[in-house]
């Protein structure tokens, strides 16, 4: 039967300590989830990019490094798109980040989506010795190196924070313009950068609550002289299979219910203009992935 899926559907991979039903995922666990996602027909897997998590009143916990895992996934999978949701440009030199992304795109035979963002969690910056100030300005400069390197193979830039001196991306990966660039954005200045530089926009979405954000995204494209339809929209969505009582005050309430109800929620997000949904799954394990599989089957049927 021909797929009627209204949008691509991917998953975040388990990466953080204690995230896999209380256990820390090892490489073999993460790989098993990716392989099963490929078998079940998911479109993508995404990695997060943090160094540690430290929230007031909670014990500090860690996470595996994102680009290393992405490279491993590129070699270990065959069909899935491989996304970063999103890489913090404050943790890596931007020219090197473009080089890494193009190399991993080569390993994967053209399956990488390079999602980037300015970062936000100050404790990890401090712990690993990165500056926490002027995140937007640093991100703006980083894009002026990453974007031309990926799209043209060369960057020349001298800024306050970063520089590229006739940097050449050589050899090139499998795509002439490199992996597509995705930017995580909600604020006005970040939306402006998205409209100017990105192939895809990225943000957290909740069914029925995205109209204003997507309207501002369209407006940013129009202000930049760009057709809003030319910008892909990748929404991160929380899903909970545990049957937990929903919190009416939650900022990002998860999609819950039967597979049919979840499929209806996904279809509603596609109708809002999202062309790719990436699920942050609870439980974040093989069991959670199997619970999500019937939703894909329903999405693939005619309505």
Residue 186 in this model has a pLDDT that exceeds 90 = yes
| Whole-number pLDDT of residue 2 | 53
Query: What average pLDDT does the chain have?
Result: 96
Residue 303 in this model has a pLDDT that exceeds 70 = no
Specify the DSSP element, H or E, that contains 237: strand 232-240
Q: Do residues 19 and 25 lie in contact, with contact meaning Cβ atoms separated by under 8 Å?
A: yes
> Regarding the domain delimited by 8-299, which CATH topology (the fold level of the hierarchy) does it fall under?
TIM Barrel (3.20.20)
| Whole-number pLDDT of residue 249 | 82
Is the omega angle on the peptide bond into residue 283 within 30 degrees of 0, that is, cis?
yes
Cα–Cα nearest to 167, from 182, 148, 181: 148
Query: Can you read off the two tokens belonging to residue 161?
Result: 């924070």
pLDDT in tens, 52-83: 999 999 999 999 999 999 999 999 999 999 99
Please provide the DSSP assignment of 131-192 as one string.
Answer: --S-HHHHHHHHHHHHHHHHHHSEEEEE-SS-EEEEEE--S--SSTT-SPEEEE--SHHHHH
pLDDT in tens, 228-286: 999 999 999 999 999 999 887 888 999 999 999 999 999 999 999 999 999 999 999 99
pLDDT in tens, 2-18: 568 999 999 999 999 99
**Distance from C-alpha of 18 to C-alpha of 258, rounded to nearest angstrom:** 26
Mean pLDDT along residues 23-32: 98
**Distance from C-alpha of 235 to C-alpha of 130, rounded to nearest angstrom:** 28
Partners of 202 in beta bridges: 184, 234
Whole-number Cα distances in Å, 104 to 68, 176, 185, 192: 10, 14, 24, 28
pTM of the model: 0.97
**Distance from C-alpha of 57 to C-alpha of 204, rounded to nearest angstrom:** 25
Q: Do residues 198 and 131 lie in contact, with contact meaning Cβ atoms separated by under 8 Å?
A: no
Domain boundaries, the chain: 8-299
Residue 28, classified by CB atoms within 10 Å of its CB into exposed (0-12), middle (13-18) or buried (19+), is: exposed
Beta-sheet pairing, 52-53 with 81-84: unpaired
Residue 1 in this model has a pLDDT that exceeds 80 = no
pLDDT in tens, 110-155: 999 999 999 999 999 999 999 999 999 999 999 999 999 999 999 9
């Amino acid at each position: 039967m021909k797929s009627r899926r209204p949008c691509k559907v991917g998953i975040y991979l388990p990466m953080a300590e204690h995230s896999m039903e209380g256990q820390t995922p090892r490489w073999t666990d993460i790989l098993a989830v990716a392989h099963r996602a490929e078998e079940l027909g998911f479109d993508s897997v995404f990695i997060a990019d943090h160094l540690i998590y430290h929230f007031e009143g909670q014990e500090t916990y860690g996470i595996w490094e994102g680009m290393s895992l992405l490279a491993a996934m590129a070699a270990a999978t065959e069909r899935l798109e491989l996304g970063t949701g999103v890489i913090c440009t404050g943790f890596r030199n931007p020219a090197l980040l473009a080089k890494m992304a193009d190399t991993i795109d080569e390993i994967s035979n053209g399956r990488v989506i390079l999602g980037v963002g300015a970062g936000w969690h100050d404790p990890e910056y401090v712990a690993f010795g990165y500056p926490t100030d002027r995140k937007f300005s640093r991100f703006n400069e980083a894009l002026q190196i990453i974007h031309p390197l990926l799209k043209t193979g060369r960057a020349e830039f001298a800024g306050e924070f970063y520089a590229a001196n006739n940097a050449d991306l050589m050899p090139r990966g499998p795509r002439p313009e490199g992996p597509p660039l995705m930017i995580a954005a909600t604020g006005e200045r970040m939306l402006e950068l998205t409209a100017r530089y990105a192939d895809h926009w990225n943000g957290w979405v909740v069914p029925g609550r995205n109209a204003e954000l997507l309207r501002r995204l369209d407006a940013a494209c129009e202000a930049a002289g760009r057709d809003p339809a030319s910008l892909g929209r990748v929404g991160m969505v929380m899903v909970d299979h545990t049957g937990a009582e929903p919190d009416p005050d939650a900022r990002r309430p998860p999609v819950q219910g039967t597979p049919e109800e979840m499929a209806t929620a996904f279809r509603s997000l596609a109708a809002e203009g999202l062309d790719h949904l990436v699920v942050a799954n609870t439980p974040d394990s093989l069991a959670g992935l199997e619970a999500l599989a019937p939703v894909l089957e329903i999405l693939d049927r005619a309505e």
